[in-house]
Amino acid sequence: MLDPVVAVDRLRAAFRGPEKHRTLHAKGRFYAGTFTATPEAAALGRALHLTGESVPVLVRWSNAGGNADVPDTLPDIRGMAVKFRLPDGTATDLLGQTARRFPTDDPEMFVRMTEASRRMATFPLFMLRHPSMAPALLDGLRNGAVPKPASFVEPSYYPIHAYGWRDADDRLSWVRYVLVAQPGEPPAGSFAGPDRVFDEMAARLARAGALRGTTPGRR
């Protein structure tokens, strides 16, 4: 079993990111909002975020890499983490990414793949030696898992695990989440700087808040 401290050290070395930043998904920002489940969801699950009552959420959109100084113009897997703040004081976390499948369930192989991906000249050789990872990576290429989006609302996000929902009668349904943005009018202007996707989101939320006469929360 790969020691977690060793894994973190190797991933940090691969990305050469600034000190005291996250090991992966280093570049990201937090956004406050609310979530209201549909009646269909409430019928399938009795979890407190599925009752149909509005619950506060904390969302973090991010770039997957371990260096927060990398510009948004570079292709990367994007992440969307959602924390549902429940009425009883607990929280439910849902983690999504633009890749529909994870390439491996072996921590050592994941670290090796990440290390190899930082040297694109030799990455094809790594994949030839580890063909079991190829289907997930090919699926990601076909479905735009490594986008250069103009906005975080463009791609879909896939929590890669299956979740068991139990309804009021204790019947179990297995579900897979897909987080998809509702269509909306983009903010005016263009965003071309190193933080362009985050700048676009700030402008989008500011515009939405102005239309509602409120100030959108962001941390």
Q: What single letter denotes the amino acid at residue 68?
A: A
What burial letters (b/e) apply to 143-157, b meaning 16+ CB within 10 Å? bebbeebebbbbbbb
Return the number of other C-beta atoms located less than 10 Å from residue 187's C-beta. Answer: 18
Q: What single letter denotes the amino acid at residue 62?
A: S
User: What is the rounded CA–CA span in Å between residue 158 and residue 168?
Assistant: 26
Closest CA to 201 of 28, 7, 1: 28
DSSP string, 7-75: HHHHHHHHHTPPTTS-SSS-EEEEEEEEE---HHHHHH--SGGGSSS-EEEEEEEEESSS-TTS-TTS-
Active site residues: 25
